Amino acid sequence: MARQHAIKAWLGICLTAALAGCTQGGDFSDLDRFMEETRAKPRGHVEPLPEFQAYEAFTYSAADRRAPFEPPIDVQLTMLDEQPESTVEPDLDRPKEVLENYGLTELEMVGTLTSANGNLFALIEDADGGIHRVRNGNYMGTNYGRIIGISETRVELLEIVPNGSGGWVERPRSLSLEEEG
């Protein structure tokens, strides 16, 4: 153990002596001469930055016009005085069913039931948490939706909605059984 300390001490003394030998002879004349020559040279001149020109915004105003690289299209505007009449319209005289007070987004299919004679019923949960049994021909939703088909995982509806020109049009919709996972 003492021998290791002696070896470490001897190496430390040798390293110190070697470093001290490197610093002797402070002849820096060549370095001093180089520094004087560099200081005596004229200093460089930096050109000023170019003057900044502000960006001018451009508003493209021809967005609603024809593209210049496409051929013109012949458009003939014809006004139809007569619009095809639709025979579809909701039965406003029938009494509303309970599920017609809710939008289809507020209703959820939660299951099905099969009766003893094989009829399939769907179980619909409303926004208030109530469960309702429905079958083909029942109405649900705020757009006069009539149930036209029930399967194990889906209820098919046919809604009657305004077509925007004073008439009515049928629109198919469906509610699907959401599987919990």
pLDDT in tens, 49-97: 888 888 888 777 777 777 778 787 776 655 555 555 678 888 889 999 9
Say what the pLDDT of residue 70 is. 79
For residue 89, being part of any structural domain is answered with: no
**How many domains, in total, are found in the chain?**
1
For residue 118, being part of any structural domain is answered with: yes
pLDDT over 80 (residue 116): yes
For residue 4, being part of any structural domain is answered with: no
The enclosing domain of 158 has a CATH number of 2.30.30.830
Say what the pLDDT of residue 60 is. 72
Burial class (CB in 10 A: 0-12, 13-18, 19+), 123: middle
Two tokens, residue 6: 């002696």
For residue 103, being part of any structural domain is answered with: yes
For residue 33, being part of any structural domain is answered with: no
Q: What is the pTM of this model?
A: 0.53
Segments forming the whole domain that contains residue 157: 98-176
User: Minimum mean pLDDT among 44-48, 104-108, 169-173, 176-180: which range?
Assistant: 176-180
For residue 56, being part of any structural domain is answered with: no
State the average pLDDT over residues 7-25: 76
User: Minimum mean pLDDT among 79-88, 94-103, 112-121: which range?
Assistant: 79-88
For residue 135, being part of any structural domain is answered with: yes
For residue 115, being part of any structural domain is answered with: yes
